[in-house]
Amino acid sequence: MNNRYSPGARFLHWSSAAVIIWANASGFYVAFLSESLASKQWVAFINVSLTTLFIPLFLFRCFHSLHYKKPESEDLNRWNQWLASQMHRMLYIITSLVLISGVLMMERDINVFNLFSLPYVIENRDVTGLMNQVHKYSCMLLSLMVLMHVSAVIKHELTGKRILRRMV
């Protein structure tokens, strides 16, 4: 039985992982470690550009996950399969919240790698401030969930349940 994900699903997974990990790691670096204004501006520019381009890819990933059946896992019992399914669902929901709040918190046009700009959506500073808070806390939650996801994969691999090979 072929229990690997399709090449398209693997591409969507690893490209999503790269963007999410980069955006969270660099965002936390700017928030907690960097004192340089130039560094903060550069990271913000890259993150806004990259995540703006990521939105349509993420929407396609959501569509794909709803319309294509996941391969069966021979290594996980029903409980672990259900738990993994719920965690993935939460990852999609929290990622959606991060992306939506990221767009709604913008108080200027969204410049995408100096190639094009998208107008900001909300002019009310109270609302954009609230969305900034939602964005900050949803990023923290997403980071925690990604760590849990990676930890679960490592745990399963170390206990002989070869689940990573399904996604590589």
Q: HSE (CB half, 13 Å, CA atoms) of 81?
A: 9
Residue 142 confidence (pLDDT): 98
At 97, the pLDDT band (50, 70, 90 cuts) reads very high
Closest by Cα among 97, 95, 112, 125 to 48: 112
| In CATH, 7-166 is 1.20.950 | yes
Amino acid (1-letter code) at residue 147: L
Tens of pLDDT along 23-68? Answer: 999 998 888 887 889 999 999 999 999 999 999 999 999 999 999 8
| β-bridge partners, 118 | 110
Radius of gyration of the chain from Cα atoms? 18
Residue 1 confidence (pLDDT): 52
pTM of the model: 0.93
Percent of the chain with pLDDT over 70: 99
> Residue 164 has what DSSP assignment?
G
Cα dihedral value 108, 110, 111, 112, nearest 10: 170
The tokens for 167 are 């996604």
